[in-house]
Amino acid sequence: MIAIQAQNLSRSFFTVKRTPGFGGMIRTLTRPERTETQAVKDVTFDIAEGEVVGFLGPNGAGKTTTIKMLTGILYPTAGEARVLGEKPFDRKADWLRQIAVVMGNKNQLWWDLPARATFEVMREIYDIDSRDYQKRLDFLIEHLQVADKIDTQVRRMSLGERMKCQMISSLLHRPRVLFLDEPTIGLDVVSQLRVRDFLRTLNDEDRCTIVLTSHYMKDVAELCERVILIDHGTKVFDGPLDTLSSQFANERRLRLTFSHPVEAGALTGIGEVIESTEESALVAVSQDRVAEATRLALQDLPVEDIAVDSVSLDEVLRKLFSR
């Protein structure tokens, strides 16, 4: 079953061009000059129920605008969106009970009250049975390990603790579709790992469809088999994560360790030198030259150890978007 559909989804914004000075202010009021900005242009994709999909792009690419259209916050200028078979902008009550949105930079908890107070309000809003509520709350608290925090005032929590409590608040009603925007922002390495493990468990047990945006590529690499890339409002890639790396990064890195000092100039015949010291070097070579470059390094240099690495996902995206 298809959980999310976007068909030629587009969104434009109109702004008034302002000119400085008193005369410019008068012209702006009497003869405003409008400029159109297309934040999203003809974006089309389907996401099946139960999928975990990474939705990626640089700042200003149109990710948040697309998510706002899929959740009914913004109405599309053109095209159509459907989530769980409904048009998001209709904002039907039964439909709203089946989705959830968690934004890492938006606080959804009452600042001066304990997080538990927000949970109780959410129970009333979604009319959750008391027994089901307690069972669900215990499950979420256990997996996110915040049992000692939910009775603390929200303003006394760390950013990471607030993020976990926001996730609990948004998941109490067992949504079928979850939109996550930077879910691990502000979390330390251990907490990031715990949240990723929790999201895997949530997907396995609830078959919850998850759309994830994150600048931490570790989140994407560990949770998503499929990614959708958007840049300047246009979809530039939609497919498996492995295909992304092979399609846009036809490059490998040779990591060399030397038995005695080597000057950087001696490496130029092997490939592009990324970094080097007298004892080691990192050299970039095209995928079809790995065997030749390895042979040259072993033949001409005092190589003690050699390793061939793939380009990281961060580097793949940096190169793609810098085009």
pLDDT, one tens digit per residue, over 105-142 is 667 788 889 999 999 999 998 999 999 999 999 999 99
Q: What is the DSSP code string of 112-153?
A: TSBHHHHHHHHHHHTT--HHHHHHHHHHHHHHHT-TTTTTSB
* Pairwise CA distance, residues 312 & 249, whole Å: 9
The answer to pTM > 0.85 is no
Contact 188, 110 (CB under 8 A): no
Strands of 169-250, DSSP E: 177-181, 209-213, 226-231, 234-240
For residue 254, is pLDDT > 90? no
Q: Quick one: pLDDT at residue 22?
A: 66
* CA 152 remoteness from chain centre: 29
Mean pLDDT score, 238-257: 79
Longest dimension (CA), the chain: 76
Count each helix (H run) and each strand (E run) in the chain, helices first. Answer: 11, 13
**3-state SS, residue 220:** helix
Q: Quick one: pLDDT at residue 85?
A: 92
Q: Which is it for strands 52-56 and 209-213: parallel, antiparallel or unpaired?
A: parallel
Contact 320, 305 (CB under 8 A): no
Domain ranges (residues) in the chain: 2-246, 251-322
The amino acid sitting at 219 is D
Percent of the chain with pLDDT strictly greater than 70: 93
Range in 27-41, 258-272, 280-294 with the lowest mean pLDDT:
27-41
pLDDT, one tens digit per residue, over 22-71 is 666 777 676 777 777 888 999 999 999 999 999 988 888 888 899 999 99
pLDDT, one tens digit per residue, over 200-239 is 999 998 899 999 988 788 888 889 989 999 988 899 889 9
Q: Quick one: pLDDT at residue 139?
A: 93
299: which 2 tokens? Answer: 């033949």
Contact 45, 228 (CB under 8 A): yes
* Pairwise CA distance, residues 65 & 79, whole Å: 14
Q: Quick one: pLDDT at residue 16?
A: 67
pLDDT, one tens digit per residue, over 89-111 is 998 989 999 999 887 666 778 88
- Under CATH, which number does the domain 251-322 receive? 3.30.70
The crossing angle, in degrees rounded to 10, of helices 159-171 and 115-125 is 20
Q: Quick one: pLDDT at residue 28?
A: 66
Q: Quick one: pLDDT at residue 23?
A: 67
**Nearest of 79, 76, 34, 54 to residue 220 by alpha carbon:** 54
Average pLDDT over the chain, rounded to an integer? 86
* Pairwise CA distance, residues 164 & 171, whole Å: 11
Q: Quick one: pLDDT at residue 248?
A: 67
Query: Residue 259 — pLDDT band, cuts 50, 70, 90?
Result: confident
For residue 150, is pLDDT > 80? yes
In this structure, how many other beta carbons lie within 10 angstroms of the beta carbon of residue 226?
Answer: 17
125: which 2 tokens? Answer: 């809003």
For residue 290, is pLDDT > 70? yes
Contacts with 322 (C-beta within 8 Å, 6 or more apart), sequence order: none
Q: Quick one: pLDDT at residue 81?
A: 94
Q: What is the DSSP code string of 143-166?
A: HHT-TTTTTSBGGGS-HHHHHHHH
Cβ-based burial of 215 (10 A; exposed 0-12, middle 13-18, buried ≥19): middle
For residue 257, is pLDDT > 70? yes
> What CATH homologous superfamily does 2-246 map to?
P-loop containing nucleotide triphosphate hydrolases (3.40.50.300)
In this structure, how many other beta carbons lie within 10 angstroms of the beta carbon of residue 61?
Answer: 22
Contact 301, 243 (CB under 8 A): no
Mean pLDDT score, 248-257: 80
Mean pLDDT score, 11-16: 80
